[in-house]
Amino acid sequence: MEIQINGIVKRFGEKTAVDNVSFTARGGKAFGLLGRNGAGKTTTMRMIMDVFKADEGTITIDNQKIDRKKIRFGYLPEERGLYPKKKIKDQLIYLAELNDMSKSEALESINHWLDKLDMKQHLEKKLDTLSKGNQQKIQLASVLMINPDIIILDEPFSGLDPVNASVLQQIVFEQIEEGKIVIFSSHQMNNIEEVCDDIIILDEGKAALAGNLNQIKDSYPKTHIKITGNGTENIKKDVEKHLSAFVKSTKISELELDIYLYTEKGRDEILDIISKGSYDIDSFRVVKPSLNEIFIQTTKGAEQ
């Protein structure tokens, strides 16, 4: 199963929030929907779920119009949607019944997910008695308990400590293995990098960059060199002395040396220096740009 977004446009008065955006998210893979605040991410998600109607373009599943009675969406919004003063059990059952689950089916699924998230002991509590991280886990349970075909997660790691972020990541991997379509939006690029195969970066409502993440990284100049070993201090001195025309900057930390070049040509020059010297090194590798670096370059260097 795959969902195809083709040339969607959304206007609010004279402002075009989403402008001719296209991408495909496939089952069994996670898709990263990225952009600065106001780039059009949330509007795009809402069009996918039919909360907003697209002014132009189409949204289909396997090239067919989406049958909302057969396709179930699970949505975790950035602004949380549960009721803080209501008992967790009551509102989860209510939400499940809105998705055509019987009360018995709802309770079975709720118990399964709260147990998996180590939250079963909070079932009878009001939401606002929980920490922010545990509230986020309840929100996640509300998304997954309905067994959605398409899961849309907007800033899912917000409020989670590293242990619970790891639990969430494992759950997402399990959903992907089941063939679900998972669409992620997050400013935490390391999480996107670890989970997503394909991405799109929106900038001012337009698609600034899209495609397979590994292929995108491979398309960037290979100008970051990392060298490890006891000889890194001597390499740093010689590189800065003899190759200043090629080297933009260097950074050394214990036995690790990072060299940043102006162009790829400098790699051969550095290798030539190393091959002619008697340096004690353990490794030499070219480092691909991180998603965070790509994001900053693509969105005109603005802060995330």
- State the pLDDT at residue 302: 44
Residue 253, amino acid: S
Domain with CATH 3.40.50.300 in the chain: 2-218
Rounded to whole angstroms, the Cα distance separating 27 from 42 reads: 21
- State the pLDDT at residue 161: 87
Rounded to whole angstroms, the Cα distance separating 113 from 81 reads: 18
The correct answer on CATH 3.30.160.100 for the domain covering 2-218 is: no
User: Could you give the C-alpha distances from 293 to 21, 203, 288, in angstroms and in order?
Assistant: 23, 15, 10
Continuous H helices in the chain: 41-48, 88-98, 103-116, 132-144, 162-177, 189-195, 213-219, 232-242, 265-276, 291-298
Tokens standing for 27?
Answer: 């089952």
- State the pLDDT at residue 155: 87
Domain with CATH 3.30.70.100 in the chain: 221-287
- State the pLDDT at residue 304: 38
Ranges in the chain, pLDDT < 50: 302-304
Structural fold of domain 221-287: Alpha-Beta Plaits (3.30.70)
- State the pLDDT at residue 30: 94
3-state secondary structure 78-117: CCCCCCCCCEHHHHHHHHHHHCCCCHHHHHHHHHHHHHHC
| 205: nearest Cα among 52, 42, 49, 50 | 42
Exposure string of 73-86, with b = 16+ CB inside 10 Å and e = fewer, is bbbbeeebebeeee
Characterize the bridge pairing of strands 73-76 and 29-35.
unpaired
